Structure 1
């Protein structure tokens, strides 16, 4: 294997390892601001300011990536948001 091939293989491996998933929460006409804020604090370990900012983005932009990480960490968090009645998915 040439040096160029080794470097390319290493870069591809690092890229695959560094790709992380994210939980995206979508706007709805059902849940209140306070409820969404509380759920982001509980399920995603947000501090109150971060949860409020994400909630504003969800409301005005239609969606917001609220948590980034490994799928194994995000799956139970997303499930908690879904069980609470929020529209969310892992992307």
Structure 2
């Protein structure tokens, strides 16, 4: 019996990747910058939480002194927002989750 596939040829249908050195270098630079740049956790002012609630939650989240928590809370109140922590993305996420336990308004920026 003749081979039914004898007239078929296997062709690599995937084109070879085209490398563009300028784009590759640019992407590597951007990745390196974003890794080296510390992430910032920003706390926003709201009309819901009392000063004491925010101060207590900052102490719980950051492990900072009462004086530091009061300073940050006052900055948030006066400026509408403040960077309360800078560090790795994972650290920001951990601290952010504690701040959001009482629904504080936060943002992480890198």
Q: Which has the larger helix fraction? A: 1
**Higher Rg of the two aligned structures:** 2
Tell me the residue number matched to 1:50. Answer: 68
Q: Deviations over 1:49-72 (max 9, x none)?
A: 110000001001000000110001
How many residue pairs match? The answer is 82
TM-score (ref. length: structure 2): 0.66
Note the 1:54-65 alignment, pairs <5 A.
Answer: 54-65=72-83
Q: How much is the aligned-residue C-alpha RMSD, in angstroms?
A: 1.9
Structure 1 stretches of 4+ moved >4 Å: 12-17
Match of 2:43 among 25, 30, 45: 25
Query: Alignment partner of 2:82: what SS?
Result: strand
The alpha carbon displacement at 1:79 in A equals: 1.3
CA distance in 1, matches of 2:58, 2:92: 13
Structure 2 residue runs of 5 or longer lacking an equivalent are 1-28
Structure 1 residue runs of 5 or longer lacking an equivalent are 1-11
